[in-house]
Amino acid sequence: MVERIELRDKVLSNLAAKGEAGTVWLRELPNVVQRLEFDWDIRVGHMFQNATEAYVAEALTSDGIEVALKIPIVGLAKADREARMLQAAGGRGYVRLLRHDAQSGAMLLERLGVQLAQQGLSTEEQIRIICFTLERAWMPSLPDLPLPTGAEKANEMATYIAAVWQKLDRPCSERVVEVALRFAKARADAFDPTTAIIGHGDAHAWNTLHDPKAGGYKLVDPDGWFVERAHDLSISMREGCIDFLAGDPVALGRDRCALLSRLTGVEPNAIWQWGFIETLVNGLSYLEIGPKENAAQFLSVVNAWTDTGA
């Protein structure tokens, strides 16, 4: 018997943005879970509470192996990319995909341990672990794994910034938007398929989980882009940016950018530009979808970065 399904507010907000399709998905979710229990001979248990774009729950196979069941919300373009990426990775740097249901997009995954964000490590140590894990996970282009490019990613983000800034009645200065659009064009123009990698797209400490069997860490929830390495590294500029507000946001931001560059050998200007874009998009997204109170830290940081001639 499937337990009562109570999804967290962020999942419900994302579902609400899908309109009627989101309503239907939520209504049918218990039936989908029950079908997968029968088809895959598993018993589904408690939900994990940190998911934002999926139903994710503990599960147990018939032979007693602990696994995880993930069912992406309806209309999530990256869901199919995620399954194909995990299959291609074969467990190297990423959570291992055990089964995939094409009808629902559901994935049966190996059960990993605690999230890096919950281990009480310093920000610098978390960044070192994320960089090491990314370098294990990055893959070259694969003919049977077509993914949207870094140029498409930059253009998509530029389009979002311009549209949502107007929609939300210009919540930050025009100068911030001008800088972000300039940086997005620079990253689109810089895309080079000969040096691009298959990147995670959202590699932060909540998506980096301890591997209790092999030790080390693995990534979960990849967005899937064929992109320059700097983009994956820029997520560590965006995440935890509230730390920058404890002092000089520019100096602290430049220090983190330099650390990411030293750890990976990636050119810092590209990391900085992607970090600026990602931080602004996150702020606008929180204003648009919620929780709105989370937007302030991101917008404050990009404002500070812009005011010093970013």
CA distance 310 to 179: 7
The pLDDT, as a whole number, for residue 14 is 78
pTM over 0.85: yes
CA distance 189 to 180: 14
Query: 9-110 sits in which CATH class?
Result: alpha beta
CA distance 265 to 243: 24
pLDDT > 80? residue 4: no
* 159: its two tokens: 């389009």
pLDDT > 90? residue 1: no
pLDDT > 70? residue 165: yes
Q: Which pLDDT tens digit goes with each residue over 90-138?
A: 999 999 999 999 999 999 999 999 999 999 999 999 999 999 999 999 9
- Domain residue ranges of the chain, discontinuous segments joined by +: 9-110, 116-307
Q: Which pLDDT tens digit goes with each residue over 196-238?
A: 999 999 999 999 999 999 999 999 999 999 999 999 999 999 9
The CA distances from residue 16 to 37, 51, 184, 281, 284, in Å, are 27, 16, 29, 20, 17
Domains 9-110 and 116-307 share a fold: no
pLDDT > 90? residue 7: no
The dihedral built from the CA positions of residue 143, 208, 10 and 67, taken in this order, carries a sign that is: positive
CA distance 123 to 137: 21
Residue 46, phi then psi, degrees to nearest 5: -70, 150
Q: What is the mean pLDDT of the chain?
A: 93
Structural fold of domain 116-307: Aminoglycoside 3'-phosphotransferase; Chain: A, domain 2 (3.90.1200)
